[in-house]
Structure 1
Amino acid sequence: MALPLSSTDLLIPFAGRRSSACAAALATLQLPNLDALLTRLAVAHDDTQADTTLTPPHERALARALGIDAADGCIAWGAREAQQSGLSRAGADEPWAVLTLCHWQVAIDEVVLDDPNDMAIDAAESQALLEAARPFFQEDGIVLRRSTAPGRWLARGELFRGLPTASLDRAAGGPISAWAPLSDVLKPVRKLQNEMQMLLYTQRVNDERIARGLKPINSFWLSGTGVLAQGTPTAPAPTVADVLRAPALHDDGTAWAVAWQALDAGPVAELLAAYRRGEPVELTLCGDRAARHFAPQSRGALGWVKNLFGRTQATTVLAAL
């Protein structure tokens, strides 16, 4: 499987993963192109934080590349998408959020958020539920709008101003209590989620999904909250290669390794070829804790000595993420 590369600035989320199966798979990975590329690049920026941050490293790295400066859990992806789609004007002081329809799996002692990417929600289902949910949100001063992705809505309301929320990529596959605690600041969100759970239980959409053997849509996850600061520069976005996401969240070490080999044979190999042609290349590798941005290092004598004696296997770099 070859994955195309559309630019010489590549960002790879979930490049390192500390879950058991992926960590075990890492030890067996052979990534010759990444090995070769990393010997030619140096760390230009290192963002290492605890793996309990609401915003994962790859979202912090993407925000930095786009010139967005925000506190943890407050990268305004909703406001950015609203501006890009024409729902909000550039520079508007409007708080937005992203609402992602999902399935909460209720266990004996916890509630687990299933990855919404596994839900197979179509556009008709998303629109039908949006129309049913709109009055409930309007009562709290929240306006709902559809986005370009089925099962994903944009919401505008003062509730989202300065409200830190956990990224879906942090919460998916785990207990929601770890990422949405029963705190005072999140009480209005929990109220909306409870109302939506009761509403969704009655919807024909879910009856039809269950009849087709699909999981019902029984809640939503809130993320991407905040206001996009005025004067945020418009920077070109890097190419985001997200093929590691699904196997990482499911801790499928075999699939994660296969996806990494495809990356190495595709986008990473192309990035290496671009470097050899003398083009400026950039690479950002992201894991559970860290995002490390690599750029070409000095080709002078000192840089060559550093390169010669400082070679590190790619898997060692990935394990440290």
Structure 2
Amino acid sequence: MSDTPHLLIPFAASPSDGCQQALQDLALPHLDWLLARLPPPATDPGDETDFIPPHERALARHLGLPATSRQAPWAAWHQRQTGVTGADGDGGTAWAFVTPCEWRVTTEHVTVGDPAALRLDEAASRALLDIVAPWFAEDGIVLAYEQPTRWLARGAVFEGLATASLDRVIQRDVRAWMPDALQARLLHRLQSEMQMLLYTHAFNDARAAQGLGPVNSFWVHGTGSLPPAAPGAATAAPPPEMPTALRDAALAEDWRTWRAAWQALDSGPVARLADRVAAGGAARLTLCGERSALTWQTGPRGFVQRIQSLFRPQRMKDYGTLL
């Protein structure tokens, strides 16, 4: 387990035109100072269509969690950390996160709204869980409350099932991110049943009376299982510092707020990391975009690396197109 401080920044850049424009005159002096002095980065290349975004892959590697571009068993990992077993389970099968959400259907798009915008509290989430849990149970899926916008689910259907991260679908057309139609046919049917059940349900009538949006579907993510833990196995590494302000602004495509969030990061966590490096301390920095991730780590630089540093990008705006 490494004690090296790790700053992992999701949505440090995006290929969208708005983001690329915002990067051009974005002043990040502490970050640029770091990039000019750290050894060349390790690259985790990917694609915008990967189900698992770069920041989740980077976090998984940090924690020693098996993850690919198609699957990251976050729910199984979370279950192992917390010991939650569900209604009658023993934790021995595959797990998933189920997030209640609103699907906005038009003739051209089926868009997933941000679950945070639903303003579900624990009482409402548990009430909704009681409504839908019997339907899931009929298909061998046991649900357990975990937080207002995330439930734990246990069932054989999640074994080996590739599902897209929630960060891939928020405010986007869900049809591009649906799991395999054959392997997930049970879940597709459940989603259709939940839309019919909740469309005219008293639960949503009560929400409408309060001026709240409807909950009419769900998103499954973080699917899969983990190998059995060895007796006496070491605990996972502590999580890195992982600010979410850039993520929140990027998912809303609010690039003015995104710029302000970057400047706050630069004067806060990035500046602290730069101070540590300046003092000779160890540090690790990972910048993640929608396609790839770049990781810098302190270490001795040989003559070749010093020469290479003269010819590689040394400012954030130059790395923006790589992420």
- Decide which of 212, 215, 218 is 2:213's aligned counterpart: 215
Report the Cα distance in structure 2 between the residues aligned to 1:245 and 1:217, rounded to whole angstroms. Answer: 23
Preserved contact between residue 53 and residue 69 of structure 2 (Cα < 8 Å): no
Shift of 1:303: 4.3
1:145 paired residue number:
144
Shift of 1:109: 2.2
After superposition, residues 1-321 of structure 1 pair within 5 angstroms as 8-88=5-85, 93-147=92-146, 149-180=147-178, 183-231=181-229, 234-308=236-310, 310=312, 312-321=314-323
Gaps of 5+ in 2: none
Q: Match of 1:84, SS?
A: helix
Shift of 1:162: 0.4
Per-residue CA deviations over 1:243-262 (Å, capped at 9, x if unaligned) read 11121112111111011111
**Identity level (%):** 44
Shift of 1:8: 2.1
1:3 paired residue number:
none
Task: Give the counterpart letter for 1:205 in structure 2.
Answer: F
TM-score (norm 1): 0.91
Summarize the Cα distance change of 1:44–1:29 in structure 2 as closer, same or farther, 3 Å threshold: closer
Preserved contact between residue 66 and residue 73 of structure 2 (Cα < 8 Å): no
Per-residue CA deviations over 1:6-26 (Å, capped at 9, x if unaligned) read 982110000011122222111
Per-residue CA deviations over 1:141-167 (Å, capped at 9, x if unaligned) read 1100011x2121000000000010011
Report the Cα distance in structure 2 between the residues aligned to 1:316 and 1:295, rounded to whole angstroms. Answer: 19
Report the Cα distance in structure 2 between the residues aligned to 1:214 and 1:13, rounded to whole angstroms. Answer: 29
Deviates most, 291-300 or 61-70 = 291-300
Instruction: Work out the number of aligned pairs and report it.
Output: 314
Preserved contact between residue 110 and residue 174 of structure 2 (Cα < 8 Å): yes
Task: Give the counterpart letter for 1:120 in structure 2.
Answer: R
Q: Match of 1:125, SS?
A: helix
Per-residue CA deviations over 1:240-282 (Å, capped at 9, x if unaligned) read 1111112111211111101111111111001111112222100
Shift of 1:27: 1.1
Shift of 1:99: 0.5
Aligned-pair Cα RMSD in Å: 2.2
Preserved contact between residue 46 and residue 69 of structure 2 (Cα < 8 Å): no
Preserved contact between residue 93 and residue 228 of structure 1 (Cα < 8 Å): no
Q: Match of 2:39, SS?
A: strand
Summarize the Cα distance change of 1:212–1:23 in structure 2 as closer, same or farther, 3 Å threshold: farther
Preserved contact between residue 123 and residue 150 of structure 1 (Cα < 8 Å): yes
Report the Cα distance in structure 1 between the residues aligned to 2:76 and 2:85, rounded to whole angstroms. Answer: 8
Task: Give the counterpart letter for 1:22 in structure 2.
Answer: C
Task: Give the counterpart letter for 1:185 in structure 2.
Answer: Q
Report the Cα distance in structure 1 between the residues aligned to 2:58 and 2:194, rounded to whole angstroms. Answer: 33
Deviates most, 302-311 or 209-218 = 302-311
Per-residue CA deviations over 1:278-307 (Å, capped at 9, x if unaligned) read 221000000011011111142455544444
Q: Match of 1:197, SS?
A: helix
Report the Cα distance in structure 1 between the residues aligned to 2:41 and 2:110, rounded to whole angstroms. Answer: 40
